[in-house]
Amino acid sequence: MLEELKDANKYITDKIIETDKLILEMEDYAQEHNVPIVTKEVAEYLKFIVQDKNIVNILEVGTAIGYSGILMANEIVKKDGKLYTIEIDDERFNIAQENIKKSKLNNIISIKGDATEEINKINETFDFVFIDASKGHYMKFFEDSIKLLNKDGIIFIDNIMFRGYLYKEYPKRFKTIVKRLNEFIDSLYARNDGNFVLLPFGDGVGLYRRKK
């Protein structure tokens, strides 16, 4: 979460009342085991967007423990939509499968592997793409997934401002990631096949809508 917005975000999240036992269980697990999941206000925004009647099929790059995937899949199941989700980490993939089983959702296709390779193997098109994985590969994820994005589709890029390190002092070990993310953002603004907006909440959200 961006430090400058913590008070505002706390005010917002205090208004959010979650009653789903599985969602609460995953939030507790993520906090206890330091697993990065979307913040509550980003989760609410994510659900709000995918409720759009035109968003049916979704691609998620980065499953983690299944938190955001289950939230999205639950919104599109009533539209006969499917969620394809990719995760590279063995332990997180297995935990996600347990959570998906608990959710009783039957519209989630889980893919175990490296998204830089697996996206190109998918024979499907999508109305919405959610990217929340290795920051150093964001541009690669975007370039591969936009090939599968339907016209007027949206790509939602989470944590794009990387703890605020894109505009303030950062540890030297993050130099390459910061450089790549800055270049990625510049490239999104420069594209002419869609519209891009950068929003400073959560840890930074980038939205790209492909032109009709």
8 Å CB contact between 108 and 100: yes
- Whether 159 has a binding-site annotation, put simply, is yes
28 annotated binding-site participant: no
Candidate from 72-76, 111-115, 177-181 with smallest mean pLDDT = 177-181
Per-residue model confidence (pLDDT) at position 45: 93
Q: Based on the number of CB atoms within 10 Å of its own CB, is 168 exposed (0-12), middle (13-18) or buried (19 or more)?
A: exposed
pLDDT for the residue numbered 57: 98
68 in a known ligand binding site: yes
Residue 17 pLDDT greater than 90, yes or no: no
Q: Which domains does the chain have, with CATH numbers?
A: 3-210 (3.40.50.150)
Average pLDDT over residues 37-45: 91
For residue 197, say whether it is annotated as part of any ligand binding site. Answer: no
What is the percent of the chain with per-residue pLDDT over 90, rounded to a whole number? 78
**Each residue's pLDDT tens digit, 140-175:** 999 999 999 999 999 999 999 888 878 888 888 989
d(CA 66, CA 193): 31
Q: Give the per-residue pLDDT at 195.
A: 96
Integer Cα distance of 108 and 62 in angstroms: 13
Q: What is the pLDDT of residues 177-211, one digit of tens each?
A: 989 999 999 999 999 999 999 998 888 899 999 98
For residue 132, say whether it is annotated as part of any ligand binding site. Answer: yes
Is position 114 annotated in a ligand binding site? Answer: yes
Whole-Å CA distances, 188 to 40, 100, 185: 26, 33, 5
Q: Is 32 annotated as a binding residue?
A: no
Q: What percent of the chain has pLDDT over 70?
A: 98
* Residue 1 reports pLDDT greater than 80: no
Min mean pLDDT across 55-59, 112-116, 157-161 is at 157-161
Cα(95)–Cα(160) distance, rounded to whole angstroms? 25
Confidence check: pLDDT of 127 > 80: yes
